[in-house]
Amino acid sequence: MASRYRFRGYHKSSKTWVYGDLIQPTRGNVRAVIVSSSACNGGWLMPLTRHAVDPESVGEYTGLKDKNGVEIYEGDIVNIRFRDEPNKFAWEAGIIKWYQPSSAYKWFSLEEDSSDGNNYWLSQADEHEREVIGNIYENSELLR
């Protein structure tokens, strides 16, 4: 049975993203492990593959995709299209974060606003109005 929650984490050795379920072992120095989904091959259950990842890079799948069918994870930098003026639209970049007070994933504008006025429930933007352009781990230049 597939997990309802999916994660990704950055595997430093192979310099690739690993997708699957998150395990946080209590022993040893490994603080985050992504377990790739097992596959059934001819009736035999293949063993799970474990990958130690950078714990700072672990992000949960939001359950949403962008206009190109790309899955959106915590830590992604996403352009959202807003109505700028009547009949005019503008794209703006922001970071996807879990927002505990509303128990939802929100898009946070790159513009500083401590009033919580420059963030947006990710699910409110239609799929064709969202586009993943990077993530905070590999594309920090987009945050400037």
Q: What is the pLDDT of residues 100-125, one digit of tens each?
A: 888 888 888 887 655 555 677 777 77
- pLDDT tens column, 56-105: 888 999 999 999 999 999 999 999 887 767 778 888 889 999 888 888 88
Domain boundaries, the chain: 7-57, 61-143
Query: What fold does the segment set 61-143 form as a domain?
Result: SH3 type barrels. (2.30.30)
Q: What's the predicted TM-score (pTM) here?
A: 0.77
Torsion of CA 111, 133, 100, 137, to 10 degrees: -90
Map residue 43 onto helix, strand or coil: coil
pLDDT at residue number 41: 44
Measuring CA to CA, how many Å separate 117 from each of 33, 93, 112, 120, 136? 35, 15, 10, 8, 21
pLDDT of 3 higher than 80: no
A 10 A CB-CB count for 57 gives 22
User: Measured on CA atoms in the order 15, 19, 20, 25, is the torsion positive or negative?
Assistant: positive
